[in-house]
């Protein structure tokens, strides 16, 4: 069986073991939405950010596939249902104050983005060294390697 077959038949997701007391603690905003950061369980990459309402969170937990609410189209959508780039959910995490989710997934197909990239975050707006590195230790600068 080829990868194409697996993609076209759309393997079902696996329902998640769910902590209902935490589901009740999700704080949806005044539009009834909560942002969901979708992260690649394998590589750790942030794949996309989308919104869930209570029903799409419920569907996600019950189907093991990512379900979102489209603010522009005002409709539910299941990631990859038309493209084949499905997301199989391993874990849904709630942040400390209950107003954001992280969804760890096994990304299927060509990636999370409709533009064809693995992650939606493929454009670098700015970059820098972060914590400045200390000067090289004197012994390595005077080392014998000659590189
Ligand atoms: Zn994208």
Q: For residue 138, how far is its CA from the centre of ligand 1 (angstroms)?
A: 46
The whole-number pLDDT of residue 16 equals 97
Give me the helices (H) in 36-99, please.
54-63
Q: For residue 104, how far is its CA from the centre of ligand 1 (angstroms)?
A: 17
The whole-number pLDDT of residue 134 equals 77
Q: Which residue has the tokens 């230790």?
A: 137
Domain spans of the chain? 28-120
> How many residues are present in the chain?
147
Q: For residue 39, how far is its CA from the centre of ligand 1 (angstroms)?
A: 13
Q: For residue 25, how far is its CA from the centre of ligand 1 (angstroms)?
A: 29
d(CA 119, CA 46): 7
Taking only the tens of pLDDT, the chain with its 147 residues reads 334 444 445 789 999 999 999 999 999 999 999 999 999 999 999 999 999 999 999 999 999 999 999 999 999 999 998 899 999 999 999 999 999 999 999 999 999 999 999 999 999 999 999 988 777 776 655 555 555
Q: For residue 111, how far is its CA from the centre of ligand 1 (angstroms)?
A: 9
Q: For residue 118, how far is its CA from the centre of ligand 1 (angstroms)?
A: 9
The whole-number pLDDT of residue 82 equals 87
The whole-number pLDDT of residue 53 equals 97
The whole-number pLDDT of residue 7 equals 45
Q: For residue 35, how far is its CA from the centre of ligand 1 (angstroms)?
A: 15
d(CA 23, CA 131): 37
Q: Decide: helix, strand or coil at residue 118.
A: coil
Tokens of 45: 């990459």
What top-level class would CATH report for the domain 28-120?
alpha beta
Contact partners, residue 18, CB within 8 Å, separation at least 6: 61
Tokens of 102: 């992280």
Q: For residue 127, how far is its CA from the centre of ligand 1 (angstroms)?
A: 20
DSSP string covering 49-115: EEEE-HHHHHHHHHHSB-EEEETTTTEEEETTTTTS--EEEEEEEE-TTSS-EEEEEEE-TT-S-TT
């Amino acid at each position: 069986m080829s990868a194409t077959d697996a993609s076209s038949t759309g393997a079902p997701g696996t329902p998640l073991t769910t902590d209902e007391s935490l589901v009740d603690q999700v704080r949806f905003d005044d539009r009834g939405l909560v942002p969901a950061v979708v992260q690649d369980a394998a590589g750790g990459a942030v794949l996309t950010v989308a919104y869930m309402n209570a029903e799409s969170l419920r569907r996600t937990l019950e189907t093991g596939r990512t379900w979102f609410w489209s603010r522009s189209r005002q409709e539910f959508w299941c990631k990859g249902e038309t493209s084949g780039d499905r997301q199989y959910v391993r874990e849904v995490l709630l942040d400390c104050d209950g107003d954001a989710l992280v969804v760890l997934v096994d990304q299927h197909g060509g990636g999370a983005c409709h533009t064809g990239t693995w992650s939606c975050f493929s454009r670098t707006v700015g970059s820098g060294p972060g914590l400045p590195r200390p000067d090289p230790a004197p012994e390595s600068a005077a080392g014998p390697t000659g590189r």
